[in-house]
C-alpha cells in the first residue's frame, strides 16, 4: 500500500512528465523530430515509479528511439501512436523481468502513457500537415514561375523569329554570290549552322510558352514512339548505346498532338543517350490500362544529382557542360505533358541511371 506522501510524489512525477512532453512538442523543430522524441522518451523514463529500472522504446516507421537497457527480458506497458486515425507506431515502457511483474505498474502510469501517445500522434499529424503545406507552396511557386517565364519566353520567341529568318535568308544569298571562295563559304556554313541551332531554341521556347498550335487526334502511341526511336538509331549506334522498346499492346490509342508527343519522346531519349555510357541500354516501356497510358524511359547513366532534381524542369537549367545544352528540353517536355493534363516524374534507376515516367489520361 502507498502512503499519501508516496501517491502525491507519483502524481507530481506524472504531471511533470506531461508538462515537459507538452513543452517539447510546442517547441519542436519539425526538421529535428528525433531530438524531440528522444526528450519525450527520457521524460517517460523519469516518470515511472521505479525510474532507475525503467526502459522505454518509441517506434514509428521513421524513428526508433530507446533509453539505456536495464536487462535482457522485460515486462511492458504499451500504447499505440495514431495519426489521422491510422496506426503510426508504439511506445513501450518496461521493467526487467522476472524481477518485476505487470502488477508492479500503476494504473495511472498506463493513463499517462496513453496521454503521451496521443500527444505524439498529434505531433506527427502536425508535421505531416506542415510537409503537405510546404509541398503545395512549392508547387504554387513553380506554377507561378513557369507562367511568368512562359509569358517572357513567348515574347522573346516572337522577337527572335524575324531576325533569324533574315540571317538565314541573306546567308543563303551570300553563298550564291561568293562563288569559289572556299573559306568564305565555310564561314557562311558556320553562320547557317548556328542560326539553325538558334531557330531550334526559339521553337523550344515557343513549345514551352504553349504558343505552338496543337492538333489533337486519336493516334497509336506505339507507332509514334517507334518512329522517334528510329530517328535516333544513328546517334545510338555512334554512342554504342542500345535502346529497347516494350509495349503491352501493339495498339495503344490516345488523343494527343502527334508532333508534340514525338518531341517529348525524342527529347527524353536524346537526354538518355547523352548520359548513357557505351555498351549500356536505354529501356522504353509503354503500358496501357482502362484510364491512362504510362510511358517510362530508363537509362543506365550516372543519374541526376539529388540537389538538381527539384530544378530539372526549370527553363534554362541544365546539368550538361556550357554550350552542350540549352536547358529547355525538359521544360518543353514538362509543358507538353501538362498541356495534355498528364504528369511526369523522375526517379533513380537501379543500380544506376534515371527513370522518367509519364502518364497521360485517356479521354
pLDDT single digits (tens) 45-63 = 999 999 899 999 999 999 9
**Cβ-contact 198, 164 below 8 angstroms:** yes
Q: Alpha carbon of 190 to those of 165, 172, 181, 348, 362: distances in Å?
A: 16, 12, 15, 39, 45
How many Å apart are CA 267 and CA 134, to the nearest integer?
31
Query: What band does 319 get if pLDDT is binned at 50, 70 and 90?
Result: low
Strands 55-59 and 216-220: unpaired
Mean pLDDT of the chain: 84
Supply the pLDDT for residue 274.
Answer: 87
DSSP string, 233-276: HHHHHHHT-EEEEEES-S--EEEEEHHHHHHHHHHHHHHHHHHP
358 within 8 A of 337, measured Cβ to Cβ: yes
Beta strand extents in 4-116 (DSSP E only): 55-59, 64-66, 74-83, 86-96
Q: Which pLDDT score is estimated for 208? A: 55
Q: Please give the angle made by the CA atoms of 311, 317 and 320, to the nearest 5 degrees.
A: 115
Give the span between the Cα atoms of 275 and 287, in whole angstroms: 25
Give the residue-averaged pLDDT of 269-288. 91
Cα 142 to Cα 305: distance, rounded to the nearest angstrom:
20
| pLDDT above 90: percentage of residues in the chain | 32
* Cell numbers 550564291: residue: 176
For the four alpha carbons of 302, 307, 309 and 315, in that order, the dihedral sign comes to: negative
Q: What is the pLDDT of residues 178-230, one digit of tens each?
A: 877 888 888 888 888 888 777 766 766 666 555 555 678 888 999 999 988 88
Amino acid at each position: 500500500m502507498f502512503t499519501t506522501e508516496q501517491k502525491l510524489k507519483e502524481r507530481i512525477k506524472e504531471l511533470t512528465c506531461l508538462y515537459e512532453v507538452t513543452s517539447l512538442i510546442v517547441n519542436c523543430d519539425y526538421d529535428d523530430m528525433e531530438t524531440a522524441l528522444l526528450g519525450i522518451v527520457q521524460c517517460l523514463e523519469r516518470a515511472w515509479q521505479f525510474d532507475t529500472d525503467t526502459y522505454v522504446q518509441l517506434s514509428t516507421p521513421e524513428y526508433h528511439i530507446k533509453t539505456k537497457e536495464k536487462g535482457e527480458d522485460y515486462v511492458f506497458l504499451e500504447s499505440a501512436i495514431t495519426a489521422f486515425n491510422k496506426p503510426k507506431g508504439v511506445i513501450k515502457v518496461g521493467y526487467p523481468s522476472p524481477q518485476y511483474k505487470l502488477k508492479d505498474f500503476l494504473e495511472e502510469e498506463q493513463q499517462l502513457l496513453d496521454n503521451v501517445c496521443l500527444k505524439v500522434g498529434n505531433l506527427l499529424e502536425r508535421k505531416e500537415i506542415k510537409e503537405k503545406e510546404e509541398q503545395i507552396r512549392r508547387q504554387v511557386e513553380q506554377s507561378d514561375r513557369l507562367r511568368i517565364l512562359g509569358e517572357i519566353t513567348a515574347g522573346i520567341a516572337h522577337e527572335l523569329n524575324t531576325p533569324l529568318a533574315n540571317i538565314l535568308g541573306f546567308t543563303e544569298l551570300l553563298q550564291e554570290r561568293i562563288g569559289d571562295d572556299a573559306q568564305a563559304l565555310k564561314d557562311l556554313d558556320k553562320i547557317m549552322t548556328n542560326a539553325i541551332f538558334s531557330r531550334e531554341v526559339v521553337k523550344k521556347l515557343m513549345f514551352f510558352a504553349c504558343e505552338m498550335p496543337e492538333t489533337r487526334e486519336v493516334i497509336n502511341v506505339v507507332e509514334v514512339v517507334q518512329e522517334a526511336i528510329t530517328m535516333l538509331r544513328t546517334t545510338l549506334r555512334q554512342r554504342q548505346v542500345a535502346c529497347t522498346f516494350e509495349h503491352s499492346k501493339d495498339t495503344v490509342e490516345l488523343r494527343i498532338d502527334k508532333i508534340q508527343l514525338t518531341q517529348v519522346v525524342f527529347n527524353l531519349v536524346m537526354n538518355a543517350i547523352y548520359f548513357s555510357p557505351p555498351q549500356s541500354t536505354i529501356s522504353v516501356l509503354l503500358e496501357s490500362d482502362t484510364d491512362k497510358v504510362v510511358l517510362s524511359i530508363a537509362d543506365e547513366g550516372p543519374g541526376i544529382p539529388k540537389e538538381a532534381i527539384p530544378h530539372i524542369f526549370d527553363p534554362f537549367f541544365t546539368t550538361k557542360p556550357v554550350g552542350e545544352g540549352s536547358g529547355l528540353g525538359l521544360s518543353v517536355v514538362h509543358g507538353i505533358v501538362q498541356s495534355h493534363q498528364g504528369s511526369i516524374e523522375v526517379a533513380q534507376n537501379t543500380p544506376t541511371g534515371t527513370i522518367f515516367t509519364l502518364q497521360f489520361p485517356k479521354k
